[in-house]
Amino acid sequence: MNSMHFKFQTDTAVPAPTELNKKRMKSEIARDILKRCNEFHSNVDAAHEYFSNAYESYNRDNVPLVLVNISKDQLTVTDHGCGMDSNGFDRFWCMHAETQRRPNGLNRRGYNGTGKIAALRFAERIHVSTVRDGLRQTAYLDLAEVRQAAADRRDPELVTVEQDVPTAARNGTVITISKPLKEQFPEGFDAGFIRGVHAKIAEERMMWMFMGHVMVNQVEVEALSVPRDEERTERSECGHFTAQLYYLEKGYEHELQDVHVLINGTFVAAEKWGKDGHRLANRVYVKCDTSVEWAQAHFEHQRERFTSESRNLRMKTIVPAAQEYKNFVTKIVSDFMKELDQKDAERRKEFLDQQTRDLESRIGKNISAFCTRARRHLRLGTGKPRGPYEKREMVERAERKPSRSPVDFRLEEFGNDQERYRFNAEAMEITVNTRYAHLKAIAANGKKTYATEQAVLETGIAAFIDMEIGLRLDEMFGEAGPKSVGEYTQAARNIRQELEQTAYNLVKGQFEAFRKLSCAMAETEEQAISDLTVGE
């Protein structure tokens, strides 16, 4: 695979070796850098790239120690891991290069593969100094240079300060991120940013960075405990595989919806093994691991045969041992999900009365009809542009995803009265909280009134709109993501406006019927409920 390199120049303020190679890349790397650094959801997520890379820089037999110091003007990340020699340092500043293994079996690739440029999302300079075997390499890259190179359609220049300079310092790397952007940090790195960094590290330590130590401003960050209502541990008959299953009734978010695959404590992949097609998948988090003996026999000398180079961190299963590991985890998770589905069905059968099921059916038909009409109105999948937010490159007909199924609507009593609804986009499921304060107040005047049904329908449609926005944004931008946060926000705003207008046009007649029936009910004290369905 061809690599893309920066062009190197020498900082004249520091004596430098007589020969410095100038390498040129074969594509628009400056624009690629600006695009990649804007793919991170937040400044904290971008900063975490450096923490995770530092954590993974240690040899297998060493306990990782990552030191993070944040002041008003700069963020410094220090590790005493493997460090880099001149060739490794050259590759560090290279994007899309082939993955290489360290002697201890760990990939040189970082957590997402683009960590060296992540900080350009929120700061003007990235300065890197690394030592390996008594030789130091130092260089820095400025955001202004990348922007200018992108505008000029030329190679960005990386300033090399030191190359193979002898030193008595121990192996390791220091990354200094300085000059925070004024538009994002008017007063410099503030307390909110520090709290966000601390919370992010605590969360990541809960999932995979739990074997070492991470210090932020000289205070060690403790790992969070996994929130759960139920916990179970399963072990394989061979004794080499373990799976910890956590269940949370209100559901997990983000990474905790995945199956985290570790090998002897080393994070390898985030998967969905055993969860596909299960309605309660977002309520289960799984962490699986192997024994030391299994890792030594099958993994440590050939990690590249297990770990994918893709940024979505999937695990390869071409090795029989890896497939055996996957089969164990898939069966354990699938059995647990089936057990949850059965318990949930029994609970619903016991607690939902016939009137509530009838209401679920009516509202489900309404929302499914709205879903069909809205998607027909938005012309999904036709390849016809619909506005500034339309996907830039339409997927070929043969590559299109199959049509999503009608909406499965449910009423449930959540553990709190603040949450209006939950939805599972993959299963096309919407669940409305019957304890939500607004619905409860309306129902207090009469449990099964037209006003209650209207309020439930409005809530269900609001949930569908939120769910549909997420699905359409995923279809629109795909894995590449938007060019900027602003583009993503504007696309979401445009989609919401059109969906809300469509919803109003489709159900305004029905809401008027609800109003008239409610008025008639107030006069006659009738409590009958008619089956009002949005027309096809």
pLDDT for residue 389:
43
Mean pLDDT, residues 45-71: 88
CB 431 within 8 A of CB 423: yes
Distances (CA, A) of 473 to 65, 390, 397, 468: 39, 9, 19, 8
Assess contact for 408 and 430: CB atoms under 8 A: yes
Strands 241-247 and 284-290, sheet pairing: antiparallel
Rg (CA), the chain: 27
Residue type, 110: G
Going from the N-terminus, what domains does the chain have, and what CATH number goes with each? 7-220 (3.30.565.10), 230-346 (3.30.230), 352-524 (no CATH)
What pTM was computed for the model?
0.58
DSSP state at residue 430 = E
Note the pLDDT tens digit of each residue in 304-338: 788 765 555 788 888 899 999 999 999 999 999 99
The residue among 372, 366, 112, 335 whose CA lies nearest residue 245 is 335
pLDDT digits (tens, 9 = 90+) for 204-240: 898 888 888 999 999 999 999 999 999 999 999 999 9
Which segment of 13-27, 111-125, 317-331, 504-518 scores lowest on mean pLDDT? 13-27
Checking if the pLDDT of 289 tops 90, the result is yes
Amino acid code (one letter) for 52 = S
The per-residue pLDDT for 76 is 98
The secondary structure of the chain in percent helix, strand, coil, rounded to multiples of 5, reads 40, 20, 40
Give the residue carrying structure tokens 């986009």: 425
Tally of CB atoms within 10 A around 461: 25
131, 169 in Cβ contact below 8 A?
yes
Going by DSSP bridges, is the β-strand pair 157-166/172-180 parallel, antiparallel, or unpaired? Answer: unpaired
